[in-house]
């Protein structure tokens, strides 16, 4: 259960066996069924998750109460609602299992304990923050300036794995279009 996280850490920082064992001891395995919410809008985010297996949808509800997907998380990546996790305020988005999940969860207290005590963990945290910010800015910037067809083309060029792994409904929510529009555009492209 810890091999993917071990590989993830070792690929990014030098970590001796003792430090690595100390870090891993702060995580607990968690499983979730398809469709299960890991975090619901308005709840306080108490965990940061490392994804071993499965797919997670990060979404908020738009003014009509429909899911609007901010991102997807797959194996070998982290997920938390950072503002809620840091400040212990109600979450502005939800996390849902799109596939059966195997996760490693770390509590807020243990997470920040590791950031303080283990420089390598602090380095990984910093790099993840930078990557998350960069991805968000790129996605927002490109999607604001693109029409629906350009967004679908962008998906084909930049994240084609989503098309084979996720439902049209989830992908359409991510692209900000209807599932019917996505189907029509996929048929044309």
| Residue that has been written with the tokens 């998380």 in this structure | 73
Structural tokens at position 120? 């390598």
pLDDT tens readout for residues 85-108: 999 999 999 999 999 999 999 999
What is residue 65's predicted lDDT score, i.e. its pLDDT? 87
CA 113, CA 97: separation in Å to the nearest integer? 28
Give residue 137's pLDDT band: very low, low, confident or very high (50, 70, 90): confident
Band of residue 143 on the pLDDT scale cut at 50, 70, 90:
confident
Q: Which residue has the tokens 């469709």?
A: 35
- Give the residue extent of every domain in the chain: 3-114
pTM score of the predicted model: 0.90
State the pLDDT at residue 38: 97
CATH of domain 3-114: 2.60.120.10
Decide if pLDDT at 142 tops 80.
no
Within 8 A by CB and 6+ apart from 100, the residues are 31, 32, 33, 34, 53, 54
- Other beta carbons less than 10 A from residue 96's beta carbon: 21
């Amino acid at each position: 259960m810890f091999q993917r996280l071990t590989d993830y850490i070792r690929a990014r920082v030098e970590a001796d066996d003792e430090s690595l064992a100390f870090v891993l001891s702060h995580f607990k395995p968690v499983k979730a069924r398809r469709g299960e919410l890991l975090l619901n809008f308005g709840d306080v985010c108490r965990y940061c998750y490392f994804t071993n297996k499965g797919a997670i949808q990060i979404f908020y509800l738009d003014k009509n109460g429909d899911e609007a997907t901010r991102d997807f998380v797959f194996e070998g990546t982290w997920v938390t609602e950072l503002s809620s996790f840091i400040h212990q305020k109600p979450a502005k988005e939800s996390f849902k299992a799109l596939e059966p999940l195997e996760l490693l969860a770390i509590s807020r207290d243990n997470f920040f304990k590791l950031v303080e005590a283990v420089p390598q963990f602090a380095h990984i945290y910093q790099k993840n923050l930078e990557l998350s910010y960069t991805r968000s800015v790129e996605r927002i910037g490109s999607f604001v300036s693109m029409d629906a067809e350009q967004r679908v083309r962008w998906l084909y060029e930049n994240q084609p794995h989503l098309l084979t792994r996720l439902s049209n409904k989830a992908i359409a929510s991510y692209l900000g279009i209807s599932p019917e529009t996505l189907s029509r555009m996929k048929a044309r492209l």
